[in-house]
Amino acid sequence: MSRIGKLPVEVPADVTITVGDTEITVAGPKGTLTVPVQAKTTTKVEGNQIIVTRSDDEPKSRAWHGLQRALINNAVQGVTKGFEKKLEINGVGFRLSGGPKEIEMALGFSHPVKYKAPEGIELKTDKMTITVSGIDKQQVGQVAAEIRALKKPEPYKGKGIKYVDEVIIRKAGKAGKK
């Protein structure tokens, strides 16, 4: 049995779950998400819990079992609390400005870099920190990765965009002549 798949998902009182043939709809105070139904898995709502089971013990079925449960759990957490990732900009002359849907950054290029957030994502700026928030965990992570890819942190001075909890391993510079 999958260690993750066998765990039931607790459903808060303000969340409604609708199980269909091809997708599971999770609605809560922050919005609505749909989760596709994985092959060879069955999802049942029993009281305030969601239980995911699988039809056989094939390796693919075992993998889908844990995936289905994790996707449902992430959807329930997203519509109740939401998700967020924080990014930090480091570098001399680097600047950040913008609002909830679009940010503008000066990252050492000859032009300012603008990033427009997709639907369902909110961007907050505070000095040199960007907070990406939304209800879909995958989309929040994707947007954070796209922003980080605009100027990845370099290993010599640490300049660039990095996650707040990310550790940049520094390299030594030139050794010089002897």
> pLDDT category, 1, cuts 50, 70, 90?
low
Core vs surface per residue 79-103: b (16+ CB within 10 A) or e:
bbebbebebbbbbeebebebeeeeb
What does the pLDDT read at residue 116?
A: 95
pLDDT digits (tens, 9 = 90+) for 91-146: 898 999 988 899 999 999 999 999 999 999 999 999 899 999 999 999 999 999 99
Q: Which domains does the chain have, with CATH numbers?
A: 9-80 (3.90.930.12), 83-163 (3.90.930.12)
> pLDDT category, 158, cuts 50, 70, 90?
confident
Which runs of consecutive H residues, i.e. helices, occur in the chain?
Answer: 59-80, 137-149
Nearest to 11 by CA among 58, 69, 54: 69
With a cut of 80, say whether residue 169 has pLDDT above it: yes
What does the pLDDT read at residue 98?
A: 87
